[in-house]
Amino acid sequence: MNRIAVKVDTDVIPVTGIEELGKHLDELIADPSLLPIPKLFDDVELQLTDANILPLIPRLLPKITEILKQYQQDPAVLCSLAIKLLGPLSFTQILSLAPEEALIQALRSPAPSANILGMVVIEKAAKSPSDAAILGMMKNLVTNFLTQWLSAPQVEVGEKGTKVLGDVLDVDCDTRPPDDLSVNGMEIVVRKQPGQGLVWRRIFQDHDIYDLILSLCVSGQLGSQQQSLAQGRLLRVLPRLAALNFRAVTWTDFSDLNQRYSNINGNGGLLHFAALHMVDKGDMLVHLNLVDFFEAFLSIQRITPFSTYKMDTLTKLLKDATAQDNVLKASIFTLPERTIPEEAEDLGRFIREVLNSQ
């Protein structure tokens, strides 16, 4: 096999198979109907390290991007190598190599590997507030990301989307994070400085995108099974978002959308929609997701900064949620019993305070 040497400092790091892989990529560009040869990709990918990857990016990544634009076969091996090559690059560097349209195409692909690739790129925007702000200005990309996050049937795509959305909104949040915000040893807020808030405004103050989220979760357009998955994904991310910006998730200016999708008047935000109006409690799985949501939500809200608005909102929310739901009510009252001993007493006190109960 041909060998190419990449020199780093005084060490020569050999990468075998580059010439063969390059020729194969050219063949795939010329004929998208060809099947990839996995061994060629695997042999190179396994050799990639922080020391030798940078010189190979301009040699391989543009070809892979070109293939993915027109490829009709399973792109898993292409996407795996692309993700490895993208490792050292920033969000803006990737945009110079793969434009927004290419990322949207990856997100729209029926192949989960392509969806994950697109989400990995978006995840790069969580590395800095400035990169998150750039993402916030890319409405089409955000729209397609949210659509695939909620509508993809694959569990791995949903889980990746949930993490990416939380991480990006964390870094983009324009309030200063409280210190030591963690539950059961898990850090809730990872950023160290305020962001610019452009992704938050894109999602929570853009009528089209807010409409999209509500419609995918309740309109039935996804089918009952996928709609249940979409609802579960929204419920899983909301406790973290509520810890980051409680006001944003509990208030909306789009009362028309509340009327359309929840048949209610008022300005309750995405949290109220998901907690009170989204779930069919006859669907056991989604009802369990709702119970899990409230347990995570209350556990986190116990350690977020106090405000009268927060406590008033929580009190009304829990009273409304438990009024006709004895399963949820019992779960909330017994939650301290299922919490680590160091936090159980404070959590029980917090729940009693929220519910105005002795």
3-state helix, strand, coil in the chain (%, to 5): 65, 5, 30
3-class DSSP state of 114: helix
Comparing 22-31, 167-176, 237-246, 289-298, the range with the smallest average pLDDT is 167-176
pLDDT tens figures, 275-294:
999 999 888 888 999 999 99
Tokens 């406790």, residue located = 239
Distances (CA, A) of 128 to 170, 181, 260, 305: 10, 20, 37, 24
What would the two tokens of residue 228 be?
């249940």
Quick one: which H or E segment has residue 183? strand 182-183
Q: pLDDT at position 73, please?
A: 85
What does the DSSP 8-state code read for residue 17? T
Virtual CA dihedral for 331, 337, 338, 341, nearest 10 degrees?
150
- One-letter amino acid at 80 equals S
What would the two tokens of residue 231 be?
């609802």
Work out whether strand 186-187 and strand 182-183 pair parallel, antiparallel, or are unpaired.
antiparallel
pLDDT tens figures, 58-94:
999 999 999 998 888 889 999 999 999 999 999 999 9
**Beta strands of 84-241 (E only): which ranges?**
182-183, 186-187
Radius of gyration of the chain (CA): 23
For residues 83 and 57, give the distance between their C-alpha atoms in angstroms, rounded to a whole number. 11
Residues facing 16 on adjacent strands: 3
Residue 262: Cβ within 10 Å count: 17
For residues 198 and 200, give the distance between their C-alpha atoms in angstroms, rounded to a whole number. 5
Quick one: which H or E segment has residue 244? helix 224-244
pLDDT tens figures, 105-159:
999 999 999 999 999 999 999 999 999 999 999 999 999 999 999 999 999 999 9
For the entire predicted model, the pTM comes to 0.91
3-class DSSP state of 11: strand
Tokens 């750039």, residue located = 134
What's the distance, Cα to Cα, between the start and end of the chain in Å? 76
What would the two tokens of residue 127 be?
């590395």
